[in-house]
Amino acid sequence: MKSPFPRRAGSPVQRRIAVVALLAGLIAPLAACGGLSANDNDKSSVSETYTDLRTGKPESARDKAVLDALPESVRSTYAGFWHATRVGPNPYADWKPSQAPWKFCYSSAYQGNSWRQEGLAVAKDIVAQLDKKGLVDGPLIVSDANNNASLQATQLTTMVQKGCDVILVMQPPTVGLCKAFDAAQKAGALVVVMQTGTDCTNVVQSDFGAYDAGRTAAEWLVDKVGKTKDTIVMCDGIPGVAAAEARQAGASDTFKKAGLKVDHITGQWTPSTIKSQMLRYLSTHQGAIAGVWDGGVCAVPVTQAFQQADRDLPPVTGFEGACSWLASWKQTGSESFGFAGGAGQGVNEAFKVALRMLAGQKPKHNTLLYPLVQIDGSNVDEYYKPGMKLSSGCNAQPASGDSAPTAYYDDLFTGTGTPATFDAGLADLPVK
Amino acid sequence: MSTSAIEQTPTPTSAATSRRRRGALSSLLVYLAPLAMFLVLMVATPDVLSRTGIMSLLVLSAVLGIAAVGQTWAVMIAGIDLSIPATIGMANVLLTTLYAKGWSFGEIVVLLLVLSILIGMANGVLSSIFGLHPLVVSLGVASVVTGGVLISVDGNTGGDVPGFITNAVSPRGSVLGVPLPAALVVWVLVAVVVVLVERRTVIGRQIFALGSNVTAARLALARPMLIRVFVYSAGAICASAAGVLLAGFSGGASVDIGAAYLFSTITAVVVGGTSLLGGAGGYARTIAGVLVTTEFTTLLIGFSVGPNMQQVMLGIAILVLITVYGRDRHVAHRL
């Protein structure tokens, strides 16, 4: 006898069809979203004026044309710029700076580590110096978004309401804040994004040439290892993060050109992850390793992994010039190569850009990339200080006090206004 | 009379036997999995068969294993502990910063014990009194802990690490001349204590009881709040121990250092076959889960699998493993 009740579930075939339909239903909107966002970029007028952010992709004809049109003095620093940022005209071309005193604001995406604390300390010090010259209106207004983009957008809006003339934004997310930046720009505030690439084209960006830095460190390693069949291990950062991918692209291109065999570990810019990945790599690869390229924070945990796995230490590069890396270098005596890349120098360069603009100068482009100061065997003694330890949280700073000489920006700006000057005091930062 | 009664009800007995057989088979598979995975690893990457190769695996397993104690017990009482990464970060940062300020290691350990118990009490008491799900409570506690640590050190997380901690997590480290890293010895001791507490003590049995049925456990004179406080405090103490070991592992300190241990502790527990529904499983299974996941991720690196594909493969492996031996019904539904 047929049951009077409808069956609760369909036949196995029906269930399978339902699962497939459900999956298709989930995937289709995702694919559509991907397609829409790509189309949005293509269709917008912004995309015609600014190059696209093309992380991990080879150079396009347009990227090449933009690069070739840059002044020769900055061209190598801008190499591979499309991995981390977009280049186009100055979005503040029509902006007229207000008269001093100015209100300075500092919007940080996160403040929970020593690197970020150093950046803020340097910013406060610079503002205090400008204040003595009567150029500052009130104390530096600071916000910390704890890695929450929507919170940072709100904080930016509040800063605009408080009448900030200059908003320095420390490492905001690549996307998600463009509308908040837009509102700030419309209110007449100058927004300078520091130490990261951004998809937003309505801000001025100050950053070091990440591709160039990755390439330069890789070139040092290639020279060091010579012709070899042994493997180079690249210690990569966070997959998909533009700043990490740009460094890696610079290094990958160099190793490819040199014909070297490359393996990767993914350290996620986290020392404990880097060390566990490197130990796992060493456990499963007993063959000789020619050298290790550092995509950020890797040098010390990688060196420890080699030592603790009883393996010969090959040349290992550094990257951001951590005090712990210099301590490790001194301890092992194994020559390395890196940069003076603390947050302090980044804030210093961003202030130099902002003060030029406040003095009436105009940048030729939205993105201002500068080269980092290199640390190698010839100048390491200028950077190493006795208090540096393997557990130190500080970073080496440019010995001259600047990453880029002031004259470096002359080719990137038009106008003749004389900017206010300051001493970033990077050499006096504590070793801790 | 009794004989005929047994004859009349043969089905439950045979069903129970077959259930027991299935359970025994599932347990056997869990404990054989690390061996099988090691054989695969050995065949695929023979390089791993060196002292430092094996010790590297065991040190990585030890840190994960110690961190996973809390997650195992939290899952066994049908809860979850999302405050483990924050507690690891807290211990990591406090050890390095306070040691640099001149505190002795003993003083720091006492402070960490007190803070861990406070974290455990917050998790246990709040989830009991207000009847909140531990997922929400431990998430809130985690946020308070991380924020509190950052405020106390003003974001400056650098410091100093005692040399013996670095040696404890070195694959070539030794204890009293025996070539075994101290982290491994600590893990073995922790494992023995944890398994004994689970199987031989009243509170251990009450953990199972609470996970099976809160009402029944209460009627059996178990005190749910006390058990929860015990479970989350023990978990926080072990997480702190993992944070201390990680300070030696990576040299520096970071409040985010435990981030990777949320997913990996839950993975180890689930792969070990402890049911997320509570009331069953145990730390011995988690040990197997820890070894399997460590071996598997090492295997992927041995094959030079990229980071994104590693995620995919790990996900597939978890799904396959729990499909094979993680399908037990909740204890309350087995009768």
Read off the pLDDT of residues B295-318 as tens digits, 9 standing for 90 and up. Answer: 999 999 888 888 788 888 888 888
Percentage with pLDDT > 70 across chain B: 90
**A117:B301 CB<8 A:** no
Read off the pLDDT of residues B47-100 as tens digits, 9 standing for 90 and up. Answer: 888 888 999 999 999 999 999 999 999 999 999 999 999 999 999 999 999 998
d(CA A148, CA A176): 10
**Residue B87 domain-assigned (yes or no):** yes
Of A345, A317, A299, A342, nearest in space to A251 by CA: A317
Nearest chain A CA: its distance from B24 CA (Å): 30
ipTM: 0.83
Rg of chain A over CA atoms, in angstroms? 24
Q: What local confidence, expressed as pLDDT, does residue A314 receive? A: 97
**Residue B39's pLDDT band (cuts 50, 70, 90):** very high
**A236:B251 CB<8 A:** no
d(CA A401, CA A129): 15
d(CA B151, CA A310): 40
Contact (CB, 8 A) for A317 and A293: yes
Contact (CB, 8 A) for A279 and A302: no
d(CA A167, CA A145): 14
Of A307, A233, A240, nearest in space to A268 by CA: A240
Structural domain of residue B263, as residue ranges?
A: 33-330
Is-above-0.90 flag for pTM?
A: no
DSSP string, A5-57: SPPSS--HHHHHHHHHHHHHHHHHHHHHHHHHHHHHHHHSHHHHHS----TT-
**Residue B9 domain-assigned (yes or no):** no
**Residue B260 domain-assigned (yes or no):** yes
**Residue B126's pLDDT band (cuts 50, 70, 90):** very high
**Residue A8's pLDDT band (cuts 50, 70, 90):** very low
Q: Which of residues 215-274 of B touch A (CB under 8 A)?
A: 246-247, 249-257, 259-260
User: Span A376-403, mean pLDDT?
Assistant: 89
DSSP string, A293-352: EESSS-HHHHHHHHHHTT-----B--SS-BHHHHHHHHHH-----EE---HHHHHHHHHH
Read off the pLDDT of residues A186-221 as tens digits, 9 standing for 90 and up. Answer: 999 999 999 998 899 999 999 999 999 999 999 999
Is B18's pLDDT higher than 80? no
**Residue A133 backbone dihedrals phi, psi, to 5 degrees:** -90, 5
For residue A325, give Cα distances in angstroms to A318, A345, A394, B98: 7, 18, 10, 22
CATH of the domain at B68: 1.10.3470
Sign of CA dihedral A196, A200, A204, A209: positive
3-class DSSP state of A195 = coil
3-class DSSP state of A207 = strand
Question: B91 and chain A: CB distance < 8 Å anywhere?
Answer: no
**B172:A265 CB<8 A:** no
Read off the pLDDT of residues A254-312 as tens digits, 9 standing for 90 and up. Answer: 999 999 999 999 988 888 889 999 999 999 998 899 999 999 999 999 999 999 898 99
Q: What local confidence, expressed as pLDDT, does residue B268 receive? A: 94
Q: What local confidence, expressed as pLDDT, does residue A321 receive? A: 94
User: Span A390-396, mean pLDDT?
Assistant: 86
Instruction: State which amino acid sits at residue B2.
Output: S
Read off the pLDDT of residues A321-370 as tens digits, 9 standing for 90 and up. Answer: 999 999 999 999 999 999 999 999 999 999 999 999 999 999 999 999 99
Read off the pLDDT of residues A65-114 as tens digits, 9 standing for 90 and up. Answer: 999 999 999 999 999 999 999 999 999 999 999 998 999 999 999 888 88
Q: What local confidence, expressed as pLDDT, does residue A192 receive? A: 97
DSSP string, A368-432: EEEPPPEE-TTTHHHH--TT--TT---B---TTS-SS-GGGGGGGEES-PPPP-----GGGS---
- Please state the length of chain A: 432
Q: What local confidence, expressed as pLDDT, does residue A175 receive? A: 86
Residues on chain A touching B248 (C-beta within 8 angstroms): none
**Residue B18 domain-assigned (yes or no):** no
Of A116, A121, A56, nearest in space to A83 by CA: A56
**B157:A113 CB<8 A:** yes
Q: What local confidence, expressed as pLDDT, does residue A17 receive? A: 58
Read off the pLDDT of residues B218-252 as tens digits, 9 standing for 90 and up. Answer: 888 889 999 999 999 999 999 999 999 999 887 67
**Residue B24 domain-assigned (yes or no):** no
d(CA B258, CA B249): 12
Read off the pLDDT of residues A248-258 as tens digits, 9 standing for 90 and up. Answer: 999 999 999 99
Give, for A210, the enclosing helix (H) or strand (E): helix A210-225
**Residue B307 domain-assigned (yes or no):** yes
Q: How many domains does chain B have?
A: 1
**Residue B19 domain-assigned (yes or no):** no
Read off the pLDDT of residues B133-166 as tens digits, 9 standing for 90 and up. Answer: 999 999 999 999 999 998 998 877 777 888 899 8
